[in-house]
Every structure is written in C-alpha cells, then in structure tokens.
Amino acid sequence: MRIEFRLPSLGADMDSALLTAWLKKPGDPIAHGEPIVTVETAKGLIDVEAYENGRVVDLIVEPGTTVPVGAVLAHLEVEHPSPTAASAPPRPDATPAVAAAQPSEALPPREAFLPSEAGKPPPSTPSATPRPSAGHPRVSPAARRRAQELGLSQDLLEQSAAGAILHVADVEQLAATRAVTGSAAAAAPDPRIAMRAAIGAAMARAKREIPHYYLGQAVDFGAARDWLARYNAGVPVQDRLIEAVLIAKAVALAAARFEGFNGRFSDGRFEPATAVHAGVAIALRGGGLVAPAVLDADRKDLPTLMRDFSALVTRVRAGRMRSGEFAAATITLTSLGADGADVLYPIINPPQVAIVGAGAVREQAVVRDGQLAIRPTLTLALAADHRVTDGRAGSRFLRAIAELLQHPDTL
Amino acid sequence: MQTAEIQAKLLDRLTRIAPDIDPRRIVADQDFRDQFDFDSMDALHFAVAVSEAFGIPIPDSDTGQLTSLQKAVDFVQARLASKA
C-alpha cells in the first residue's frame, strides 16, 4: 500500500525543519527504524526513521527546503501501514507550539512506546569516539557556528564533508578558498536563538497546560558512591560508570512500578507506557538542552545503560540525533552533576507526566541512627502532573528511588 | 614524546570526543569544567581517549588529574617517562 511519509513532530518545541539530505532514493528498500531523511531542527540534525518495512516510491521535497510538521516528504510503498503512522494529517489550524507538541499523533502510539521491540534499537557504541556513518555528511556544531559566521552555505558544507566530519579548521580552509557572498549568513537564523525559542515554547506550554506539583527527597548517597568507587577501581577506564547512570537506573526501575509517572498525557487522558524509555536531559555547549530517550532503561544492566547513555551524549553533542529517541521518552531525568546546585526543580517535558531532577551530591550533616553524621547526600526533586497523580503517590515514587539507591548492587 | 606532540594528540582527541569545542579557543591551564561546561561524562570520555591514545592505564583515582589541557600534558608526560 502506498502511503505519504510526513515530517513528524519531534518534540513539543518543533514546528518546522530544514530538510538537509535524503538517505534513500526512489526504489530503495526501507526497514522499520531505518533512517530515511536528515532534517535540521533547533535541536540539531535528526535522522527521521521509517515506521514500516517497504520501499521508497518518490521523494517530494528537495534538500535545502524548510517544511512544516506534517508536510509530505515522500511516498512509500509499505507492507502493513499503521493507521496513524507517518501519514498523520498536519494540523494547520493549531498554533505552531501546540501543533508541534503532539508527537503521539504523528507516530503509531504502540510503536512510539516500544520502538525497540519492532525492529532496530539504536546500536550502542562502546567507544566514545563518534564515527561518521556512510553517506552522512557531518559538520561539528562548533564548525557549523563558524561556517555561519563566515557565510558558508549548508549545501557547500554538506558537499565538502563527503562522509567525513568537518571541524572548525576545515570550515576556515573552505572559506579561504571560496568567494563568499555573505548572503547565506544573512539568510540563516542563529541556531542558538532558535534553540532558546524552541525551549521557551515547550516550557511555556508545559507551565500553561500541566498542573505541576513538586516534591523533594534527600537521599543518602553513601552506599551508591562506595559501590561505584569499588566497581570503577576494578574495571578498565572504558568500562567505568558515572553517578548519573545509577540514578537513571533507579528512576527507571521505580517508573516501571509506578505507572502514574511513566507515560504520556494526550487528548485529555493519561496513557500509561508499557516500557520505560528514560529521557535524559543533555546540555549542549553552544547553549540549550535536549532530552532524547535511552530505550528500555529499566531492563538494561548498568554497563549496557552506561554504553547507551554515553553513545547518546556523544551523538547529541556532535549534532546527530534520531527521531525515535525524541518521540519515545516516557519519563525524564535531569541531573546537574558535581558542580551543580543542591536542588533542581524541573519542568515536565510534555506530553510526559513526570520528571526527576537530581542536584549535586554534597556532604551534609544528617541524623542517622539517632546520631549526627556527615553523609554524601543527593537531593531529588520530582515534578509530576496533578491530572494523573497527587503528592502521596509522588512521595512513594520518590521513596522508591531513594530505597533503590541504598542497594546499588541490585540496580 | 615531545610536549608539542603530546599536546597536539590530546587536542585531536578532545575535539573528537567533544566536537562542539573549538580547539583554537582552548586555554591550556584553565579547567575544562569552567571552560567548556565539562561534565562527568565528558571527563570519562576524555580519560578513555587519553588512555587509548597513549597506551597508558588510567586508574579511577587519577582521572582527577586530567581536568585541563596542561594537567593532561603533565600527566601523560609523567606516565610515559615512568614507562620508559
């Protein structure tokens, strides 16, 4: 059956994207989970994946074109089309921020929740070094910024990259050998401004639509820290774990047990998820934040989770993401790291219904067994959706995470 | 191995693990965390890269010595000297 392949919404903060490259041509076979096209959004470059098996019939949109969410990009011949798949209709009547905030409408709900069951989970990359994949011209974010300053067009960069990663020096060399008109620089929007606008739109929508409640819980992090130190002392550097992975696993395990915190709210009701895809907030050095998901985080052991998380961070910071990772998250963890503030009060990423914020682990004076003691303490803050749960359920959820972190060997 | 060679190799690895860093703006003696918002994942990636690039083991207790380009150069130099 012939279907329209449309630009899906890849988060609450997206209303359009620039089509940068086709990864398939007419006649090419496609498999579920396979990237078909690369688009550039405020978040960076995202590979949009196929939802079904089949083949490409024709390509409608030329690279270099900016298209709205819902626009038909190509026609595909597929075996078993899902009713709401990439053929979801656009929403011309809605405001951009709201239209962009409905990823569940652009994706088959089951598959959006369980992408790894239906075919290809994103391969984990054991090495921290990003590898260019065949046919994917890549430009580092720093080089992209420099190219913009120098007025080099996107097309020129993509042609020059030819499968390799372009760095700042390559871009400058390119600029030196080209007569640059400067018109490209004038026409292209500043990606940092676009990123801030996208975050602003998504968070304003979250604050407007979601009745947040907030809870905080101090967690004794001594057992987790001791276990981590012992574990890391016994493995080579490439197999080491970081604190955030232990916290992510504890959140994922708790999310699997407490369904009111794991899922999405759409069309006026809560839809619990059957798997836990943990969104992880990743800060970008140029400014901004993205929160793609580590799939099936509750079912992965710590080394696997670490590898997947590590590969995700590397890819995202290199400006390369996959559409499935953005549509999939069922709950999010945001962690400030060692030099962050004590407490992070997070904002829910719609259409999810909960987010856990982790502050920096600090030595604090606490009462333990009736005595004053100095303990490494992690303060977790939960923001959850009052349309789905209330403070008592939230307290149980947070306590479950705290309890899991007392037994790191079982994570 | 000469200091310049070590530094060039470290810079190369640094921009590979963190392609969003402009290598020409690196201040050698400034902490990566202050300069580039390095987090624990970046620090670990850098330790892995240093270990692979120079073939030296990096115990967990030593990762705190790789917090700036200059410190990393000193660390690698010391390790290579003790290996030789």
List the domains of chain A with CATH numbers: 2-107 (2.40.50.100), 140-191 (no CATH), 210-410 (3.30.559.10)
CA pair distance A180, A387, nearest whole angstrom: 55
CB-nearest to B40 from A146, A244, A318 is A244
Q: What is the mean pLDDT of residues A128-139?
A: 44
Check pLDDT > 80 for residue A202.
Answer: yes
Residue-averaged pLDDT of chain B: 89
Number of Cβ within 10 Å of residue A343's Cβ equals: 16
Chain A closest CA to B12's CA: distance in Å? 11
State the nearest Cα–Cα gap between B67 and chain A, in angstroms.
Answer: 13
Subunit contact B20:A229, Cβ cutoff 8 A:
no
Q: What does the pLDDT average to over A24-31?
A: 91
Quick one: average pLDDT of A330-340? 92
Per the CB < 8 A criterion, the answer to whether A359 and A340 are in contact is: yes
Tens-place pLDDT, residues A214-252: 999 999 999 999 999 999 999 999 999 999 999 999 999
- The pLDDT assigned to A178 comes to 60
A335 burial via Cβ count (<10 Å: 0-12, 13-18, 19+): buried
A145 vs A315, which has greater pLDDT? A315
User: Could you tell me the two tokens for B50?
Assistant: 């240093």
- At residue A405, the pLDDT reads 98
Domains of chain B: 3-20+31-83 (1.10.1200)
Residue B63 has what pLDDT?
Answer: 86
For tokens 């070094």, name the residue: A129
> Any CB–CB contact under 8 A between A146 and chain B?
yes
Q: Which of A130, A233, A244 sits opposite B19 (nearest CB)?
A: A130
Examine the pLDDT at A149 and tell me if it is beyond 50: yes
Interface check for B58 against chain A (CB to CB < 8 A): the answer is yes
Note whether B17 contacts A129, CB cutoff 8 Å. yes
Please name the residues between 274 and 333 in chain A that touch chain B, using a CB distance below 8 Å. 283-286, 309-310, 313-314, 317-319
For chain A, give the mean pLDDT.
80
**How far is the alpha carbon of A80 from chain B, nearest alpha carbon, in Å?**
40
For this complex, say whether ipTM is above 0.85.
yes
Whether A336 shows a pLDDT value over 60: the answer reads yes
pLDDT in tens, A354-373: 999 999 999 999 999 999 99
Which residue in chain B is spatially nearest to A140 when comparing CA positions? B19
Mean pLDDT value of segment A295-307: 97
What's the gap in Å between the CA of A243 and the closest CA on chain B?
A: 8
CB burial of A364-401 (b: ≥16 within 10 Å; e: otherwise) equals beeeeeeeeeebbbbbbbbbbbeebbeeebbeebbebb
Residue A388 DSSP code: T
Provide the percentage of residues in chain A whose pLDDT is more than 70. Answer: 73
CB A73 within 8 A of CB A61: yes
CA distance B5 to chain A (A): 18
Alpha-carbon Rg for chain B, nearest whole angstrom, is 12
The first and second tokens of residue B35, run together, are 């300069």
A238 touches chain B (CB under 8 A): yes
Cβ-Cβ contacts under 8 Å, A143 against chain B: 19
Whether the predicted pLDDT of A319 surpasses 70: yes
pLDDT for A119: 36
Out of B23, B40, B51, the one facing A237 most closely (by C-beta) is B51
pLDDT score for A164: 59
Whether residues B19 and A338 touch (CB distance < 8 A) is answered with no
Where is mean pLDDT largest: A24-28, A115-119, A337-341, A400-404? A400-404
User: Is the per-residue pLDDT at A55 higher than 80?
Assistant: yes
Distances (CA, A) of B57 to A310, B2, B48, B50, B53: 20, 20, 9, 9, 11
Read off the tokens for A321.
């993401």
Shortest Cα distance from B83 to chain A (angstroms)?
A: 18
Q: Residue A243: closest CA among chain B residues belongs to which residue?
A: B40
What would the mean pLDDT of A176-191 be, rounded to a whole number? 54
B34 vs A126 pLDDT, higher one: B34
Contacting residues of B for A317, CB less than 8 Å apart: 18-20
Residue A331: its pLDDT value, please? 97
* Residue among B18, B37, B60 whose CB faces A240 most closely: B60
Percent of chain A past pLDDT 90, that is, above it, reads 49
- Dmax over CA atoms of chain A, in Å, equals 75
When pLDDT is cut at 50, 70 and 90, the band that residue A198 belongs to is confident
Question: With an 8 Å Cβ cutoff, is B24 touching chain A?
Answer: yes
Distance from CA of A334 to the nearest CA of B (A): 13
In the prediction, which pLDDT does A145 show?
A: 65
Contacts of B62 in chain A (CB under 8 A): none
| Pairwise CA distance, residues A201 & A203, whole Å | 6
Phi, psi (deg, nearest 5) at residue A46: -130, 130
CB contact under 8 A, B16 and A129: yes
Q: How far is A121 from A325, CA to CA, in rounded Å? A: 10
Query: What is the SS3 assignment for A339?
Result: coil
A165 interaction partners in chain B (CB closer than 8 Å): 19
